[in-house]
Structure 1
């Protein structure tokens, strides 16, 4: 997993400079942009990150950027900042998927706390996505019969029951179970079943 990065998008250069200094003081990398379009072009979807986004900007407002973030299904948490905030604006930001909403001038420690929380969320989501991709690759290595047997194993059925229902020998079922464990690189059937169940909503036979 790559080191996290904070994207700061604000047309106020002074705000960008102070935020960059703040983040460097805690060894966090910061990429600064004065325009939303520049940020969207530079964004790296494979890296843990969060976005500190100003609401009021020329050409492309913060809400315009957020709309594009949602359209592209970018997963980085968005922290909205504004000098002229109000309750309807905050509600709109949260409804459209922002992680949090903070007014300028903000307390540096409050901003750092929000950023670290957002980066933990981003890192966790990317790790889960990576784990699922690994699961999906291994699942696709299974033959049609192995997928069928795994489906029954997850239901808690024993080899004898599966063999009887599928009209094959118990020895054949056990051989398939062994092959399934090998392809998933799983040390035990119990751990394999837990892994399959954790992705059940995404699982396709």
Structure 2
């Protein structure tokens, strides 16, 4: 898994240097970029962390870069740096999925805290994705009959009712139930339901 990095995308070298120093003092790995074009040229879908993006830049604007990232399926949280007159644009970006925005002149500690919050959010997303992948892999090991039994277990039905519903013996239901629990790595129907809620949620 790649390291979580705060990507600083700003065409003002002084701001890039100041933010890089700020994040270094907070032990937040970072990488500065002089513009949206340069960032997009190297962006990878498996990158982790967050993006600190100036809303107004020469060449490609922050909003144009943000739209391009969304089109590519970027999942990293995006924090916009805005001037006072850019707040309406930043609010519009929030509706498109931006993580947050901060107005210039901003408090260094406020921005650092926001970046740490965004990285924590991305870490949680990565863990949830890994959990879903694990659950999907376990589900893939179930036979068609085991899936049928599992769905009826999740409906809260007793073994006898499941046996009648599927026209099989109770002993067969018990065997399927045991294999479902074993393959899904759970000890109860409640655990199984919680696991699939994670997947479907």
User: One fold, TM greater than 0.5?
Assistant: yes
Q: Name the counterpart of 1:152.
A: 152
Following TM superposition, by how much is the alpha carbon of 1:84 offset from its aligned partner in structure 2, in angstroms?
5.2
Following TM superposition, by how much is the alpha carbon of 1:176 offset from its aligned partner in structure 2, in angstroms?
0.9
Helix, strand or coil: the match of 1:86? helix
Gaps of 5+ in 1: none
RMSD between aligned residues:
1.7
Q: Name the counterpart of 1:111.
A: 111
Following TM superposition, by how much is the alpha carbon of 1:186 offset from its aligned partner in structure 2, in angstroms?
2.2
Q: Name the counterpart of 1:177.
A: 177
Residues 200 and 159 of structure 1, relative CA distance in 2, 3 Å threshold: farther
How many residues get paired?
A: 201
Q: Name the counterpart of 1:72.
A: 72
Residues 47 and 86 of structure 1, relative CA distance in 2, 3 Å threshold: closer
Following TM superposition, by how much is the alpha carbon of 1:173 offset from its aligned partner in structure 2, in angstroms?
0.9
Q: Name the counterpart of 2:22.
A: 22
Gaps of 5+ in 2: none
CA distance in structure 2 between the partners assigned to 1:117 and 1:141 by the alignment: 37
Following TM superposition, by how much is the alpha carbon of 1:2 offset from its aligned partner in structure 2, in angstroms?
4.8
Q: Deviations over 1:70-115 (max 9, x none)?
A: 1122111111013453342232222222111212222101101111
Q: Deviations over 1:171-191 (max 9, x none)?
A: 111111111122112233331
Q: Name the counterpart of 2:90.
A: 90
Following TM superposition, by how much is the alpha carbon of 1:47 offset from its aligned partner in structure 2, in angstroms?
4.5
Following TM superposition, by how much is the alpha carbon of 1:44 offset from its aligned partner in structure 2, in angstroms?
4.3
Q: Deviations over 1:115-141 (max 9, x none)?
A: 111111111111111101111111111
Q: Name the counterpart of 1:5.
A: 5
CA distance in structure 2 between the partners assigned to 1:197 and 1:158 by the alignment: 21
